[in-house]
Amino acid sequence: MFARIIALTIKELLAVLRDKRSRFVLIGPPIIQLMIFGYAATFDLNDIPLAVYNEDGGAASREFISRFEGSPHFHVIATPDHDAEIAPLIDERRALMVLHLGTHFSADLARGDSASAQIILDGRNSNTAMLALNYARTIVIDFNEAWAARHGGMAAPAHLVMRAWFNPTLSSRWFIIPGIVGLLTLVVTLVVTALSVAREREAGTFDQLLVTPLRPVEILIGKSLPGLLIGLIEGSLIILVAMYWFDIPLRGSVGALYAGLGLFLLSAIGVGLMISSLSITQQQGLLGAFLFLVPAVILSGFATPIENMPRAVQLLTYLDPLRYFMIVLRGVFLEGSSYALLLHQYWPMAVIGLISLTLAGWLFRHRMY
């Protein structure tokens, strides 16, 4: 039995790796993508293009503006001096934010009244706009404190002392890169498995496979092993790059990480083989893989948090194996989560894997043409 499974596994591996281009697309692009996306996928803002429209010109207004100029987050790109110049700056996306100080700014401040600073933002990307506004507010709060301290105004009686656990500098790269590990592993595994049965169906060799002494369980194992092997190797490679190139701390145990990776691969292979045995042509297999992949990425919490989704969509995410693996990856990498804490992520992946593999095995024999 083992000999038969091994023979089939070798044949499957050859089918994928024999072609030079196939070999390349399995290894090259995921690593290149990790490098590019690792740098690209960030919610952190730096160099926010800022335009300053200062109608006042007094010393206080210049002091206020210098706090923006000195901030690493802002970068002054224009200093308009008419109202009419503001709209084109925002419309044409040259400035994300316009800071507008009216003619009374310094006078109001000197009199001890509240001076107002108008901030105009480009809301086309609402997340960026909100973060930029938060940065600006922090600068204004600092200015207010300093001003109050110097001019005998009322200082705030209590201050916020903020700390962030697990990611003290709040670098979004630490959040996104462990996520990319899951994303790329899913893509590779799914493509390897989703075409494996469909390719044979299209070529007609799957019927031949069914009449060999191989039992469906053995075919299932033989078809799963290459995906598992390729997935494990790719996954490890990507994890190494995340750790040593991007310096993402691995605070938990390697065992907890690989337990998650193994179970995740099991579920991804199950889904891939199920899609594959449902499809008659490779095109259908590929489209099926895509129809699964895209929602799986969106619902996994990779870029946007699951908690922000409405209740019904949140329920849907429980069907997505990537959802659980994302929590495992981020938990092990950043929070140092233990096996016990991750148990609730492990078992659903195992269940998804077993159900989908069983279905795939059943479909082998029951979907014929």
Partner 1 sequence: MNRRPEARGGARTRLRGMVRKEFLQILRDPSSIAIAFVMPVVLLFLFGYGVSLDAKDVPLALVADHPDTNTSGLLRAFEHSDYFTPYHYADIQTAMQALRTQQVDGIVWLREDFSRRLLSSADAPIGVIVNGVNANQARITEGYIQGAWQSWLEHYAAAQGRELEAPVMVEPRVWFNAALYSRHFLVPGLIAVIMTLIGALLTSLVIAREWERGTMEALMVTPIRIREILLGKLIPYFILGMGGMLLTVVLARWQFEVPLRGSFLLLLLASALFMLVALGMGLLISIVSKNQFVAGQIAIIVTFLPAFILSGFIFDIGSMPAPVQFITHLVPARYFVSIVQTLFLAGDIWPVLLPNAGALALMAAVFFALVRRRASKRLD
Q: How would you label 51-62 residue by residue, b for 16+ Cβ within 10 Å and e otherwise?
A: bbbbebebebbe
State the minimum distance, in angstroms, from the CB of residue 74 to partner 1: 12
State the minimum distance, in angstroms, from the CB of residue 322 to partner 1: 14
Q: Which is nearer to partner 1, 41 or 350 (CB)?
A: 41
State the minimum distance, in angstroms, from the CB of residue 166 to partner 1: 5
250: left (phi over 0), alpha (psi -120 to 50) or beta: beta
State the minimum distance, in angstroms, from the CB of residue 134 to partner 1: 4
Q: What's the CA gap between 100 and 206, in Å, rounded?
A: 70
Contacts of 74 (CB under 8 A, 6+ apart): 47, 48, 50, 68, 97, 135
Q: Which 3 state secondary structure label does DSSP give 54? A: strand
Q: Beta strand 97-101 with 74-78: parallel, antiparallel or unpaired?
A: unpaired
Q: Which is nearer to partner 1, 44 or 207 (CB)?
A: 44
Beta strand ranges found along 188-261 (DSSP E): none
State the minimum distance, in angstroms, from the CB of residue 259 to partner 1: 19
Q: Which is nearer to partner 1, 128 or 358 (CB)?
A: 128
H or E segment and range at residue 48 = strand 48-54
